[in-house]
Structure 1
Amino acid sequence: MQRAGVHGIRSSQLYDRTSYQCDRRAGNAVTLTGTRHYVGFGFGAIQAGLFLYEAYQSDNFQRLTVAEVVPQVVDSIRRADGMFALNIAQADRIERVQVGPIHIENPAVEANRQRLIKAIAEAGEIGTAVPSVNYYVADGDSSLHRILAEGLRLKAATGKPRAVIYTAENNNQAAEILEAQVMEAIPEAEQAAVRAKVRFVNTVIGKMSGVVTDAEEIRGQQLPQVTSDNSRAYLVEAFNRIQISQIDFQGEPFARGISVFEEKADLLPFEEAKLYGHNAVHALAAYVGAMLKLRWIADLTTVPGAMAFIEGALLEESGAALIHKYDGLDVSFTPSEYQADAYTLLDRMMNPFLRDTVERVGRDPKRKLGWDDRLIGAMRLSLSQNIQPYRYAFGTAAALAALEPSILHNKTKAEHILLPLWDGTNMVETEQRQVLELVERGLQALRQWVAEGYPNLDAFYSRML
């Protein structure tokens, strides 16, 4: 199939918005014009580049508040009058925008904590974007779950607006976990009134983002730092097609201010598509890149056969499995729509303006080789639909080489590394054996590819089948 652009999708097809225009540049953004209130927890790249940015762009919000526990970050935003800089990787450039003003509060400071509680009571939308669900609960009154509990109690007691809480942490039960922890901190007599006022929703966030800390790269790419006295820069892709679980206030309508998010009655298929499609092929790309000692993910576009190989994994292995498993559920799982989305995803991954590194994407191979994680999970999904995931087996072998480089030059079997990683996992023996045999085959192919001097990967793969 002939395709235009980096991977065949016209640039006008790449994103929901073909261009992010921002009229409120530095020096002009002093007020917000909407009527709604938003509160976020954690001021990282996803909070800044997704939730706060989309709320700001919507023109629906009057006040944007964020909780951040690092005092220096809080101070720097306040010195900048609540404004922060964001770098957005478009298909053909980096767009530099100013966002704000935002109100930033440190929950460890009592006066700030009280303001957060009041802001939650007023807010119609709340977003958590902390490192993991393990950060929901901490000792003391400054814990995220306790602040939410106090704010929601005040909301219910004073008749303030209903709210949804978006949970952006990488856990498909994040909303349920947070809801249970928040409700435990609310007196039983008040829980029914609070439940009537709030819905906790899961999210599937495929937006690629990062924090650039290297001063030389920041200068070289002319990336505005978060603030003038903050050494970091946020760099995010323009993509904003985010799925969330359906919001149901017992049949009563609820209009979101951040309207770009897509509600889905069943979020699990999209969670699997993210983990076993997006995340799996991203990891595959990173570990192939690591074998070739590449720095940037985008450099794979210059490697003969690499993109055809990666595309094959996404479309013919995990993609074909997802389409077969979820046939008829949603238009996203029709062959034509999935193929279009896959091509778009590959274009996004290979966007040179995103500056995504092989090291970052391939970080923590032990976790990514988990039985239920992206690589082995994509293999298991494919096998469950009678598809042989040879490319993912090769990528898994490359991940093993990233973890234990000596495996390329000795006779160590893949299972000697994988089985300890899977210890304690409930596995069906026949499925485990099938996966291990495929990975062992992938490891033999990887050793042969290295021995032959890294020939055209797609042609090599076709020859080895």
Structure 2
Amino acid sequence: MKTFLGIGLGPIQTGIFVSGASKGNFDRIVVAEVDDTIREAIRAAGGTITINIAAPDRVYTEVCKNIEVYSPAKPEELEKLIAAAAEASEIATALPSVKFFGPTAQWLRDGFRRNPDALRFVYTAENDNHAAEKLEKEIGEPFSQTYYLNTVIGKMSDVARGEECKLRNLAELCPGAGRAHLVEEFNWILISDAPQIETRSVKNLYVKKDLFPFEFAKLYGHNATHFLLGILGDSIGLKKMSELSGHPELVEIGRDAFLKESGVALCRKYAGVDEMFTESGMANYANGLIDRMQNVYLSDSIDRVIRDIHRKLSWDDRVVGTMRLVLSQGLQPLNFAKGALLAAQKEFGRDTEAIRKGLEGLWQKNTQEGEAKEVFDLIVNARI
């Protein structure tokens, strides 16, 4: 029996992996989910869920049927998940963080032991460049044909809850779920390579032999520009990313940052890797992405985009990490510095010494010497 197993039931799981498995002729689609309300609602709906998909001009729905949902927290249901892990040929983890791998790895390992030589692909979708390696380490035993794969997911998504579903005219995941899953129509999902990966059945997954350049482009291109546009919008009181369409001067700052700063840096760093890392390829990627970020039907909240500023200002993340990439390739990240200054002011206040103290605490570096000084000076001298 051909089985797909999903772990976690957020919009990435439903909008990518359950959707892709539903098109892949699996006999069973099994999902592990600890939320009692969601689990019972899906069962009451006969295993049918509805996903909202944001196209450029409308929202439409996709229905996936015959979904089995079990809780790993309930002993009688955990056994069903262990059995599904034993027989599943494709597994997708889409948990809030790799920090949740520990308990999951225990029952996955129990399942794999029952069928140790089976060919299985395990896709990890926790927005961590090394999620696959971390899950494999947590499982802690070798299984000869079990392959753990990283992903690069540039598909934006959202969860609407309660009355917001009606206000936004979104279909609930199922009656009684109390929430709706919304994903954008864009569906170019990248996965790392593995032996026999061509036999996979989940649809809309695209293999790259070296995934790291695309992970880098996601963080320092996609995520960096998304944050920059969000913090620019926040600085003038906007609430939704779609409102940026009324402020072309802000959009152009984001576009210039992507095309002339991080895009050029990425193309220099990864020249020859893929068509995307050419001038025309990067322009297509950047322009398409910036248009998608403003999709009114996605209704992306600026507060969501710029949340957790503290982390995003860290040395290697999308704000400062992008500036450092650009500098490393002989360029000046003047537009990204604007976003960094706005973010630093929002986090630490407008006083330069308060910003210095805050960033030194984050970076664990002296901002009066070396690379840290160069980055800090660009930030505090940025022209907004």
Q: Give the root-mean-square deviation of aligned CA atoms.
A: 1.7
Map of 2:244 onto structure 1:
300
Residue in structure 1 matching 2:15, options 49, 68, 77 = 49
Map of 1:7 onto structure 2:
none
One-letter amino acid of the counterpart of residue 294, structure 2: M
Distance 1:304 1:170, change over 3 A: closer
One-letter amino acid of the counterpart of residue 226, structure 2: H
Q: Are the aligned partners of 1:165 and 1:200 in contact in 2 as well (CA < 8 Å)?
A: yes
Residue in structure 1 matching 2:268, options 324, 329, 335 = 324
Q: Secondary structure at the match of 2:330?
A: coil
One-letter amino acid of the counterpart of residue 146, structure 2: V
For residues 154-193 of structure 1, the aligned pairs below 5 Å read 154-156=114-116, 161-183=118-140, 186=141, 191=142
Map of 1:72 onto structure 2:
37
Cα distance, 1:416 vs. partner? 2.4
One-letter amino acid of the counterpart of residue 12, structure 2: I
Deviations 1:123-167 (A, max 9, x none): 110000001111011xxxxx20011101111122xx6x4100001
One-letter amino acid of the counterpart of residue 199, structure 1: Y
Mapped to 1, the partners of 2:73 and 2:233 lie a distance apart of 42
Residue in structure 2 matching 1:414, options 355, 364, 367 = 355
Residue in structure 1 matching 2:153, options 189, 205, 224 = 205
For residues 415-430 of structure 1, the aligned pairs below 5 Å read 415-423=356-364, 429-430=369-370
TM-score (norm: length of structure 2):
0.96
Mapped to 2, the partners of 1:427 and 1:102 lie a distance apart of 53
Map of 1:86 onto structure 2:
51
For structure 1, the residue ranges without an aligned partner over 5 or more in a row are 1-34, 138-142, 447-465
Q: Are the aligned partners of 1:124 and 1:162 in contact in 2 as well (CA < 8 Å)?
A: yes
Cα distance, 1:221 vs. partner? 2.1
Q: Secondary structure at the match of 2:338?
A: helix
Cα distance, 1:325 vs. partner? 0.6
Q: Are the aligned partners of 1:413 and 1:440 in contact in 2 as well (CA < 8 Å)?
A: no
One-letter amino acid of the counterpart of residue 181, structure 2: Y
Q: Secondary structure at the match of 2:304?
A: helix
Matched, 1:224 2:165: no
Cα distance, 1:70 vs. partner? 1.5
Matched, 1:147 2:107: yes
Distance 1:433 1:148, change over 3 A: same
Map of 1:435 onto structure 2:
375
Distance 1:441 1:413, change over 3 A: farther
Percent identical: 39
State the aligned residue count. Answer: 384
Cα distance, 1:428 vs. partner? 11
For residues 380-419 of structure 1, the aligned pairs below 5 Å read 380-404=324-348, 406-407=349-350, 410=351, 412=353, 414-419=355-360
Q: Are the aligned partners of 1:287 and 1:402 in contact in 2 as well (CA < 8 Å)?
A: no
> Runs of at least 4 residues of structure 1 off by over 2 A?
410-414, 425-429
Map of 2:72 onto structure 1:
107
Q: Are the aligned partners of 2:121 and 2:148 in contact in 1 as well (CA < 8 Å)?
A: yes
Distance 1:327 1:100, change over 3 A: same
Deviates more, 1:217-226 or 1:278-287: 217-226
Q: Are the aligned partners of 2:244 and 2:251 in contact in 1 as well (CA < 8 Å)?
A: yes
One-letter amino acid of the counterpart of residue 93, structure 2: T
Distance 1:433 1:411, change over 3 A: closer
Cα distance, 1:97 vs. partner? 2.3
For structure 2, the residue ranges without an aligned partner over 5 or more in a row are none
TM-score (norm: length of structure 1):
0.80
- Structure of larger gyration radius: 1
Q: Are the aligned partners of 1:38 and 1:63 in contact in 2 as well (CA < 8 Å)?
A: yes
